[in-house]
Amino acid sequence: MAVVSETNENNQPLWQMVSLSDYVLPLPPTREAAAKGITAFWRLIHSKNVKQKPPEKTEDQLLTFSETELARLVPAIDWHLGAESLDVKLKDWLTQKNKNSPICFLIGPPYGGHAYILNRWAEMHRMPVIEPPAPEQILTQDESWFSDWSDNERTWVLPSLERCYLRHADGLTVARRFFERALSGKLGSGLVGCDSWAWSFFKKVWSVPQPAVLALQAFDSERLKAYLGELAVSSTLRPLRFRESDNGRDILSTSGVENIAVSETSPFLKQLAAHSRGILGVAWMYWRNSLCAAPNETPESDPQAPKAEHSLAQNTIWLRTGLKELEIPLGPNQEIAFVLHCLLLHNGLPVDILVELLPLSREVVITTLNLLASASLVEAQNNAWRVSALGYPVVRQFLKSNGYMVDLF
């Protein structure tokens, strides 16, 4: 399990829970970069050099890591520290027995970990976790789901409020009843997680009181530098040096036992923070997909070793800084937008439910999903389709540009 320090080099909390009004998006290095995306950013900053130097490593000199290697270099996100930060933030709310506000909300964007954090927090305190109703219960407006709140003496946790509604004429009653009962105190005290897109939808269709609404602060470039450096330390005892493939500039360095601060935060990390909108899960996936190796550089590498051992024997890890930007595929824009927006409003859905919610035939829905999957913008997980982590920034911008409601993160 990766252990990540609690602060970055500026002594800012790495995992910081804040009021929703205090949430701050990472600033892009330039306005041009914010508008054009991470690949265009690299073209922008390198075009300022009159004399272009050849890249330190060309594409044909780089080796993609295996899944085993990547699992060692970039372990899965451990959301436990997020739960600990939430615990600190909730101390007063818990000790006051929630007299002023029986419900506290934790809002997070896709891949922001709100449900994972709440499940970890529930485990820490042995609090009961409320599972969402089945889609059939939602569409039939079956309120038997509320029987799960039979014990009002204990604080309960509902990690995924976005699973408790469907954007359908018959799909809002259960969620509406939940807000009425929960905010009035009839369900006792509880901690509720909600995806940011569903939260924006709820605020649009109802006047939702906001007694206590929290969010995990965005991971800016300084937080990403600290987090990714500690991940590297946890992956191997060997010193590692992370460098940009096009110019050789250092991004991170480790001694094998600690993260060594690079004098200035890398432009790569600044743009990664802005491109991912500070969402840890998105930044983590982009970092993971950027790592590569040049296996013939290190003399102590054993040429007979398996590929994974051979690649990780080196001290230098290269990052591709010219990865092709994901793009919305050519096709019927309205149908593409309908499917993508519906997936984000519910943080993923099975095909059968998508067909129920959209004014499209089953054939059109499946064709559109396959088109988006071929562009790596959506993926199937646990019998449901979801916008991918790498595709999320592009999809969000596409929907915003086409006038669709988007979240605030």
In the predicted model, what is the mean pLDDT of residues 340-360?
A: 97
249-283: pLDDT as tens digits? 888 887 654 555 555 778 889 989 999 999 999 99
In the predicted model, what is the mean pLDDT of residues 302-313?
A: 44
What CATH number labels 333-401? 1.10.10.10
C-alpha to C-alpha distance for 73 and 67, rounded to whole angstroms: 10
32-89: pLDDT as tens digits? 444 455 555 555 445 444 444 555 666 667 888 888 888 888 999 999 999 999 999 9
Reading the block at residue 394, the tokens are 């592009």
- Could you tell me which of 171, 216, 231, 221 has the C-alpha nearest to residue 198? 171
| pTM for the predicted model, two decimal places | 0.87
92-123: pLDDT as tens digits? 888 775 567 889 999 999 999 999 999 999 99
Query: 43: part of which helix (H) or strand (E)?
Result: helix 38-47
Residue 15 has pLDDT above 80, yes or no: yes
157-172: pLDDT as tens digits? 999 999 999 999 999 9
Strand bridging mode 384-387 / 378-381: antiparallel
Beta strands in 218-353 (DSSP E): 240-244, 250-254, 259-260, 291-293, 316-319
C-alpha to C-alpha distance for 221 and 8, rounded to whole angstroms: 10
Contact residues for 40 (Cβ-Cβ < 8 A; gap 6+): 32, 33, 325
Residue 349 has pLDDT above 70, yes or no: yes
With beta carbons less than 8 A apart as the criterion, state whether 51 and 45 touch.
no
In the predicted model, what is the mean pLDDT of residues 195-204?
A: 96
Per-residue pLDDT band at 364 (split at 50, 70, 90): very high
C-alpha to C-alpha distance for 14 and 81, rounded to whole angstroms: 9
C-alpha to C-alpha distance for 271 and 277, rounded to whole angstroms: 9
φ, ψ of residue 317 to 5 degrees: the values are: -110, 125
